[in-house]
């Protein structure tokens, strides 16, 4: 969950914004999404767990919430990658507290330039990533590159409700309620998040609409691409697979 100055390169913007967010990230994410973030993450984890992958990459892992949820469901090994050292530090504390250090490892890096060979992973997950990369289609291709044949890809992003009533309600919430809630619960860093989140999401879909996202998945060589909107259209879960035998 983040936002920023349109003049700032996306990855640098995200890195700066995350510096002061880690200690309260998961709790505030739940509050600022009206409790829906947990359901959205569960949908991604359900899809990945169903494929029973031995080795999974979790991109934009943050403090490790999705990785930990998957670790609790399966015995797979998980590599989490994030561009924020502060988020990864919190993630390592969370992993240690959960006793999952043998199952989850966290590394510093960017989704646009993954430090892994082709076909390294049986599954790739990513959450709230595409708004913070300069070229979403190229990033999706890079993520698909490291998936083995037969492997699963699953993602979670915010979305803009399509129905006019829910869209205007969403706009009111993101413009008026979200900044104040963020300030009350997390101080100025989360006020900044709340102020930019709604406009940032809408700007992303103006530049890279859902149809373009689906096309990018398919152009990256992913098959059986599915789209699931959740919570009246506020959340978007996508899945696909790398064709071929596992």
Listed range (24-38, 124-138, 199-213) with the worst mean pLDDT? 24-38
- For residue 115, count other CB atoms closer than 10 A to its CB: 11
Tokens of 72: 């609790």
Tokens of 110: 């960017």
Q: How far is CA 98 from CA 81, 93, 102, 156, in A?
A: 18, 9, 11, 23
Question: With bands split at pLDDT 50, 70 and 90, how would you rate the model's confidence at 8?
Answer: very low
For residue 199, what pLDDT is reported? 82
Q: Which domains does the chain have, with CATH numbers?
A: 10-161+208-241 (3.40.50.150)
How many alpha carbons lie under 13 Å from residue 150 in its C-beta half-sphere?
Answer: 10
Question: With bands split at pLDDT 50, 70 and 90, how would you rate the model's confidence at 163?
Answer: confident
Arithmetic mean of pLDDT over the chain? 86
For residue 16, what pLDDT is reported? 55
For residue 4, what pLDDT is reported? 32
In what order do the strands lie in the sheet containing 147-158? 104-108, 77-82, 55-59, 121-127, 147-158, 235-241, 223-230
In sequence order, which ranges of 51-112 are alpha helices (DSSP H)? 65-73, 85-97
This prediction has a pTM of 0.85
Q: What is the pLDDT of residues 14-44, one digit of tens each?
A: 555 555 555 566 666 666 667 788 899 999 9
**pLDDT exceeds cutoff 80 at 188:** no
Q: What is the pLDDT of residues 38-64, one digit of tens each?
A: 899 999 999 999 999 999 999 999 999
User: CA quadruple 192, 30, 160, 12: dihedral positive or negative?
Assistant: positive
């Amino acid at each position: 969950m983040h936002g920023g100055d349109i003049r700032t390169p996306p990855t640098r913007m995200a890195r700066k914004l995350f510096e002061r967010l880690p200690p309260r990230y998961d709790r505030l994410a739940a509050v600022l999404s009206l409790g829906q973030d947990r359901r959205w993450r569960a949908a991604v984890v359900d899809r990945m767990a169903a494929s029973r992958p031995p080795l999974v990459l979790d991109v934009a892992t943050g403090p490790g919430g999705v990785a930990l949820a998957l670790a609790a469901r399966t015995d797979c090994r998980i590599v989490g990658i994030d561009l924020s050292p502060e988020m990864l530090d919190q993630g390592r504390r969370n992993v240690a507290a959960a006793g999952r250090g043998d199952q989850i490892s966290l590394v510093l890096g960017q989704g646009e330039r993954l430090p892994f060979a082709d076909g390294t992973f049986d599954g790739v997950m990513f959450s709230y990533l595409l708004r913070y990369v300069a070229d979403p289609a190229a990033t999706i291709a890079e993520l698909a590159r490291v998936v083995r044949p037969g492997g699963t890809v699953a993602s979670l992003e915010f979305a803009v409700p399509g129905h006019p009533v829910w869209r205007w309600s969403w706009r009111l919430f993101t413009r008026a309620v979200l900044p104040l809630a963020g300030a009350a619960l997390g101080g100025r860093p989360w006020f900044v998040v709340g102020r930019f989140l709604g406009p940032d999401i809408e700007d992303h879909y103006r530049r890279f609409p859902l149809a373009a996202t689906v096309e990018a998945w398919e152009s990256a060589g992913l098959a059986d691409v599915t789209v699931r909107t959740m919570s009246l259209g506020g959340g978007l879960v996508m899945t696909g697979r790398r064709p071929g035998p596992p």
